[in-house]
A and B are shown apart, each in its own frame.
Chain A
Amino acid sequence: AQKITQTQPGMFVQEKEAVTLDCTYDTSDQSYGLFWYKQPSSGEMIFLIYQGSYDEQNATEGRYSLNFQKARKSANLVISASQLGDSAMYFCAMRRNTGGFKTIFGAGTRLFVKA
């Protein structure tokens, strides 16, 4: 069975600093995708970044990067130069690429950016 674990219920970061949100996953599949989503207090989930299990390079999207360590089964999200608008819930998610395409989500980490 697949599982996503986010061990940090809440994180604080100073504005303009970098922050790492942890995510570990469990799967027996060889081909899968890892995702991060942001959910502001307004409620609408926003797709941030994707990493394929066969991708050798870490994914980057603007200020977001995904630190993918396949052997450790970790997919941490790094946000550089934090902004006040980054305050939100962040969810790590995984989707298998064969035999069904549902995405499973972790419990989330709430990020607070301090001015």
Chain B
Amino acid sequence: DTGVSQDPRHKITKRGQNVTFRCDPISEHNRLYWYRQTLGQGPEFLTYFQNEAQLEKSRLLSDRFSAERPKGSFSTLEIQRTEQGDSAMYLCASSLLGQGNGYTFGSGTRLTVV
């Protein structure tokens, strides 16, 4: 098992452009999470999936953000009409069901909006 993979590792985009990130979780994990982390802060919850169902989405998330997990496998996070405030590290994590199961995180995608 190669862990959680995220692609790309870095993305620089111009303000107003759309970007899409991909996450491949550990294959046995049925829960998948997206978080955003800015410098010096803890990860901030964005959304999570159980299998292919998106069960919760942060109220802080604007309509410019959308996430999918087709067939309960990989997931994509799209940001439309990017703004400078979207610059952050976007982290994906997966886990098994069960109260004591911690997350396995990917290395993240660092987004810079110029």
Q: How far is the CA of A20 from the CA of B42 in the complex (A)?
A: 19
Contact (A105, B42) CB under 8 Å given A43-B89, A43-B107, A43-B108: yes
Q: Which residue of chain A has the shortest Cβ distance to B50 in the bound complex? A: A101
Contact (A102, B33) CB under 8 Å given A43-B108, A45-B43, A45-B93: yes
Contact B105 A50 (CB under 8 A): no
Residues of A within 8 A of B35 (CB): 105
Contact (A103, B103) CB under 8 Å given A43-B89, A45-B93: yes
Residues of B within 8 A of A108 (CB): 40-42
Contact B100 A106 (CB under 8 A): no
Which of A37, A50, A103, A105 is in CB contact (< 8 Å) with B100?
A50
B62 in contact (CB, < 8 A)? no
Residues of B within 8 A of A52 (CB): 99-100
A91 in contact (CB, < 8 A)? yes
Q: How far is the CA of A42 from the CA of B56 in the complex (A)?
A: 29
